[in-house]
A and B are shown apart, each in its own frame.
Chain A
Amino acid sequence: MTEQELKIQEKKAAQHDGETTKSETYFAPHVDIFETDKEVTVIADVPGVTSEGLDLSLEDNVLTIQGHRLPPPHHGRLILEEYECGHYLRRFTVAETIDQNNIEASLVDGVLRVRLPKAGPAQPRKIEVNIG
């Protein structure tokens, strides 16, 4: 197995729709999104966010992932700063019809996993053509 070496991925700042009154830093978390015939799964890296700080919503086909993290509890002098701590925000427009009642989300090791089951079985429909 060829092991790839992990690289530093730069954090991209995320913007709210309107301007916020508090000047807080928001980053767009890196995501994986994949689909099977039954569901759409969104995986997002949100290190530092606990389940209390997480806010998920699906409204008008827009999935919003918002994660608030507590400020780091250290009070010492910062002698090396290679990454910035910030909240997370990202929105997606979900093209599929989602069964809103059965959305499941889990948060493990700073990774959020949202399962969006598709509404109704996607059955191939045959259209018969009548020759008249």
Chain B
Amino acid sequence: MNSIPTQADELAIEVRDLRKSYGENLAVRGVTFDVRRGEVFCLLGPNGAGKTSIVEILEGYRTRNSGEARVLGIDPASGSRELREQVGIVLQESGVQGDLSVYELVEMYGRYHVRQRPVDEVIELVELNEKRNERAKKLSGGQRRRLDLALALVGDPELIFLDEPTTGFDPQARRQAWSTIRSLCQLGKTVFLTTHYMEEAQFLADRVAVMRGGEIIASGRPDELGGRDLRPAEIRFELPEEVGLSDIPGVPEESRELVGARVTIHTRQPVRAAQIITTWALDGDVDLAHFSVTQPTLEDIYLELTGSGEPERTTVAEEATA
């Protein structure tokens, strides 16, 4: 089975029409996606969207109701040791033997793997050098999370699962964690990330899939998600009283509107449009107050896609009547 070289060899993860329910609650409702080797893939969505169900099915902790899943070519439900040798897992919350030191823990978890990275190198990578002899139970939250990462990395995995890796971090600790995760990408690892922070997805991910109510509702590169790159930019400014909307020269535009003195122009050629307008304003000595050009942010797109950001709960009964 492994000997047939297919396109699947390029894929770290393949998921087809994956479904998972807990009693009446449909947590995952037919999800399909691929993760290529070497990329950082992010499941983004509000709490309760089904992200953790998916990641824990791929990690082998939960069983799927139906659909296909392959992780590094292996069915994660098989409990294969070969798969566990190649995968590093950072769970959303999981304890660690608190009476052992950082060094001892990295060494201990490293031994489980046939192929392993040097303990000191891993501790260095997650910047826990100063805490190497500290008992794990004495670490701060951020340090504990970095230890989690170290324990996932010590087996030199091909693929790393990070489930909400920075939840509860202060902004500085989050930046630090991001730079560590970025350094993983430079090692050529595949990273599967879940988060409900847009910023995190934008900063780390090569590709993002947005989830809501157990379904993927959009996917793509962070800069083109939801057609973000194709959407018109907005040029805004205020017109002096003596100037009207029709006095503005023709620009490559989608639409223009005037509310009070405030003008909003939607255009797919913001640079050209801005140049024409500013040239006209400078030549005619027209004072345009509060001039700005903006592209829709990932946040705009995300909020638009996920609605209010409230987790959706749909039951079997509801879906049956729908």
Do the two chains belong together in a single complex? no
> Which residues in A have some Cβ–Cβ distance to B below 8 Å?
none
